[in-house]
Amino acid sequence: MTQTNQPEINVQEKRPLDTGTAESTSSEPRFSPQVDIWENDRGLTVVADMPGVNADGLSIDLNDNVLTIHGRIEAQNPGKKVLTQEFEVGDYYRQFKLSEDIDKEAIAATIKDGVLAVSLPKMAPAQPRKITVVQA
Amino acid sequence: MAFLPFFGRNFSGSFWELEKMRSHMDHVYNALADGFNQIRRNYTGVFPLVNISEDEDNLFLTAELPGLTADRLEISIKGETLTLKGAKTQDNAGDETLNYHRRERQAGSFSRSLTLPVKVKSEDVGAVFKNGILTVTLPKATEARAHQITVQAQ
């Protein structure tokens, strides 16, 4: 259960999506999810916190080496009176530019408990090929 | 500063001192401003942030806890105080083969107690954890519900 030696989590306010100069047409808030990105010799892993998003609401696409993550949250059930609102709820959107050596065919993604994990395997390095010379 | 040579060497010397002082003040000011932001942040919230809503019969509390699982969450209620406790573990802790490019997600433990606005039936409180969102449904105590009073016409 709760370990005493662990550091306490500080509040991280959700970051509204930075759309640059282009304004969003919708007034719904959109957020840039917090991510961890790590690399090892096999590839890259992108992990994003997207609470409220399930597999159906998620779209991930790769276009011109730009990985786009878009998570739609489920519609909120209305008819309730809000008493306290400490966080806003909205969709998640973030883009990453990938390097060339990602094996695009082998990208895989899973989402569990509101955490998306995208694995981006590296292209296998070209195997050295030995050419046998046959005596004619 | 084009006018500096006009004052001669002594003046430019004191300007240099002033400039140094100003940069020092900037440092102090920035450090203080950071401190104020910290206070403001602590003031606005303790992890996890919660939204509370109500309908006629229930209070609903939601909190975003991505990466947590139901078994690592502890919810208790005593009187009108609700306590949320839990811990999020760091992924790949101690794995030296990984090279982190970004590390924005937090791990650690949390504990938050909050006072509910009305009395609730603590024995009927239900909690659901789905897609990283905790929803606690707290039925209001009978005395906290609105009663419709029929006005008798005489």
Picking from A2, A36, A51, the nearest residue to B85 by CB comes out as: A2
Please tell me the predicted confidence (pLDDT) of residue B34. 59
DSSP code string of A75-87 = PPP-S-EEEEE-S
In a domain, A18, yes or no: no
Number of separate domains in chain A? 1
ipTM higher than 0.90?
no
In a domain, A22, yes or no: no
Q: Which residues of B touch A84 (CB under 8 A)?
A: 50-52
Are B53 and A1 inside 8 Å of each other by CB?
A: no
In a domain, A106, yes or no: yes
What kind and span of H or E run contains B33? helix B4-44
Instruction: Give the range of the structural domain holding residue A114, as residue numbers without chain letter.
Output: 29-121
Picking from A3, A83, A86, the nearest residue to B49 by CB comes out as: A86
What CATH number is associated with residue A67? 2.60.40.790
Lowest mean pLDDT among A17-31, A60-74, A84-98, A112-126: A17-31
pLDDT category of residue A9 using cuts at 50, 70 and 90: confident
Please tell me the predicted confidence (pLDDT) of residue A136. 80
Q: How far is B124 from chain A (nearest CA, A)?
A: 19
Judge residue A88's burial from the number of C-beta atoms within 10 Å of its C-beta, 0-12 exposed, 13-18 middle, 19 or more buried. middle
In a domain, A20, yes or no: no
Are A113 and B49 inside 8 Å of each other by CB?
A: no
Is the model more confident about A26 or about B65?
A: B65
Are B133 and A51 inside 8 Å of each other by CB?
A: yes
In a domain, A15, yes or no: no
Tens place of pLDDT for every residue, chain B, 154 residues?
444 444 445 555 667 788 888 888 888 877 776 555 444 333 446 889 898 999 889 999 999 999 999 999 999 999 889 999 999 888 877 777 888 888 899 889 999 999 998 899 999 999 999 999 999 999 999 888 878 888 999 8
Q: Which residue in chain B has the smallest CA separation from A43?
A: B98
In a domain, A100, yes or no: yes
